[in-house]
Amino acid sequence: MNKKKRIRIIPSILIDNQSMIKGKNFQNHKYLGDIFNAVRIYSNKKSHELIILDKSAREQSRLFDTNLLRKISSEIFMPITVGGNIKSVEDAKKLINSGAEKIYLNSTIINNYNLISDISSEIGSQSIVVGVDVKLIGEDYQIFFDNGKKFYDKKFLQHLNLVVSSGAGEVILNSISNEGTKNGFDINLYKQVENEFDIPIIASGGASSFESFIELFDKTKLSAAAASSIFSLFGLNEAVLISYFSEKQLEELVSKYE
Amino acid sequence: MIGIINTETGNINSISNVLKKTGFNYLISKNHKELTRCEKIIFPGVGNFDACMKNLRKNSLDDVVKNLIIKDQKKILCICVGMQLLLNYSEEGDSEGLGIIDGYCKKFLKNEVNNVPHIGWAPILSKHKIFEYNGDKDAKFYFCHSYHAKITDKEVNVFSSNFNINFCAGFIKNNIVGVQFHPEKSLNVGTNFLKKFVINF
């Protein structure tokens, strides 16, 4: 008998300072609107969690804005994961103390896996999410960092193994090729990792509809997925519309696997 | 007045935000005298068991917590690692816990919960007259943990949750409420839980 899955569908928000933005294949970002409006809607719609990543933090050599996080967490009472140039245990603690449930690491752990173990021994594994951005090149998935701009010369599974053994609590495996395309999740990517690790792997990149999630959960052992286009853009013209599945749809999805 | 024990590592901000929004007065303190003046206490915790325990000792908060619970008999809500620290020990580390409730924290096995840590929303079962929950899908709480409490204390009234296996979602013993889930992160369901603690417990 198949084991039950505890499904999580997580809207992911990319920001540039306080503006919500959205790109395609990590490029050509457009302005979507005010972040406060978006997080209020996601909270009212009872989204399972939220991920908020500040794209400009690393470019501007600063940490995710703790004042912004304090404002957000004083309005919505739900689990939030935040990322943006977290370089030390102190950075991680500042964000947790400002209301983050979990912190997200990506570019700052490249060749620096100790950062994961150092943070984990303070705030615990369950609060560390590591983002891994990959692109299919030839037959292999290759890792990129710095918003997909830089290539990391390490085998994909080797990198994941190091991330997990250093103490990550979750991994968001993001398909750069699928990001923003609404082509569905990269099922082959997730098939490669579904049996490898104990920790949750969160799929990200390409969700186009309710059915994309069903396909992912039916075809792989994953139980969590993040998405942004589907929860922020509407129709062929991609008009801005912040939304989430209705409670009824969500319950249908969740109870299919529980 | 609600006293939030200033454990530094906990997400104190999230708890105080909910109290502020629901109109309850609170103070955040490490000082026993200040905390004894409060009607009820919240003991937050997020983090590694040993790191949290070390931090408590560094600030002499281990004695503060023990005094508030045992000597002052304060009504206290202990959240996540705050709850785990009341037990004798955890498989997460080598530190002794506060030993106020008999039991320990056990790591989930992958074959029990699919993935460790166990993360997500789940209903709970509790027959306690104030915190009554019958496993209803409309009342789910947010969990994010790798370790779960194994309570051996017979006087404890346990809340349970289920995910392939049954596990302890929290407990009540006399003046103590301990929860594994995060009421402060559980939307309206969590806010209502905190209200029940503040108003009814």
Question: Can you list the domains of chain A with their CATH numbers?
Answer: 8-257 (3.20.20.70)
pLDDT at B117: 94
Beta carbons within 10 angstroms of residue B156's beta carbon: 18
Q: Which residue of B has its CA nearest to A250?
A: B137
Question: With contacts defined as CB-CB under 8 Å, which chain B residues touch A5?
Answer: 114
- β-strand partners of A201: A171
| Cα distances (Å, whole numbers) of residue B53 to B15, B57, B173 | 20, 6, 22
pLDDT at B155: 86
* Encoded tokens for A4: 């039950």
Which residues sit opposite A225 in a β-bridge? A9, A203
Which runs of E-coded beta strand occur in chain A? 8-16, 19-24, 27-34, 50-54, 80-83, 102-105, 128-137, 140-145, 150-152, 170-175, 201-204, 224-227, 233-234, 239-240
Decide the pairing of beta strands B147-151 and B103-107: antiparallel
Partner B contacted by A78 (CB < 8 A): yes
What pLDDT is stored for residue B113 in this prediction?
Answer: 85
* Structure confidence at residue A1 (pLDDT): 44
| Neighboring chain A residues of B119 at a CB cutoff of 8 Å | 6, 8, 126, 169-170, 200, 224
Q: Which of A48, A137, A152, A146 is nearest to A101 (CA)?
A: A48
Residue B118 has pLDDT above 50, yes or no: yes
Determine which of B16, B28, B83, B115 to mutate to test the interface with A (most A C-beta atoms within 10 Å). B115
- Which chain A residue's Cα is nearest to B111? A3
CB-CB under 8 Å, B137 with A124: no
* pLDDT tens figures, A70-86: 999 999 999 999 999 99
Q: What is the pLDDT of residue B10?
A: 64
Verify whether residue B80 is a known catalytic residue: yes
Measured between CA atoms, how close is B19 to chain A, in angstroms? 10
pLDDT at A73: 94
For residue A180, what pLDDT is reported?
A: 79
Number of helical H runs and strand E runs in chain A: 9, 14
CB contact under 8 A, B185 and A126: no
Q: Which residues of A70-99 are buried (b: 16+ CB within 10 A; e: fewer)?
A: ebbbbebbbbbbbbbbbbeeebbbbbbbbb
Q: A127: which chain B residues are within 8 Å (Cβ-Cβ)?
A: 46-47, 144
C-alpha–C-alpha distance, residues A181 and A31, integer Å: 17
Angle between helix A114-123 and A89-97 (nearest 10): 40
Q: How far is B168 from chain A (nearest CA, A)?
A: 17
- Decide if B22 touches A, using CB distance below 8 A: no
Q: Using an 8 Å CB-CB cutoff, list chain B residues near A122.
A: 9, 47-48, 51
Each residue of A19-45: pLDDT tens digit?
Answer: 999 888 888 888 999 999 999 999 999
| Residues B64/B82, Cβ–Cβ less than 8 Å | no
Res B3 pLDDT > 90 = yes
Cβ contact B118–A7 (<8 Å):
no
Indicate the fold that domain B2-200 takes in CATH: Rossmann fold (3.40.50)
B96 pLDDT more than 80: yes
A&B contacts, CB < 8 Å:
123
Would an 8 Å CB–CB cutoff place A256 in contact with chain B? no
Q: Which residues of A touch B113 (CB under 8 A)?
A: 6
Is B184 a known active-site residue? Answer: yes
Successive 10-residue mean pLDDT values, chain A, 258 residues: 84 92 86 93 97 94 96 95 97 93 97 97 94 95 95 96 98 92 93 95 95 96 95 88 94 92
Q: Is B24 on the interface with A (CB under 8 A)?
A: no
pLDDT at A25: 84
What mean pLDDT do residues B119-147 have? 95
Write out the two tokens for A81: 């994961």
**pLDDT range class, residue B127, cuts 50, 70, 90:** very high
This complex has an ipTM of 0.94
Do A61 and A24 touch, CB atoms closer than 8 A?
no
Structure tokens at A117: 């173990």
Q: Measure CB to CB from residue A6 to each of B163, B184, B187 and give the nearest one.
A: B163
Percent of chain B with pLDDT over 90: 86
Q: Does A97 touch chain B (CB under 8 A)?
A: yes
B12: confidence class by pLDDT, cuts 50, 70, 90: confident
CA dihedral over A118, A124, A125, A128, signed as positive or negative: negative
DSSP A179: T
- The catalytic position among A118, A133, A153, A198 is A133
Q: What is the pLDDT of residue B114?
A: 87
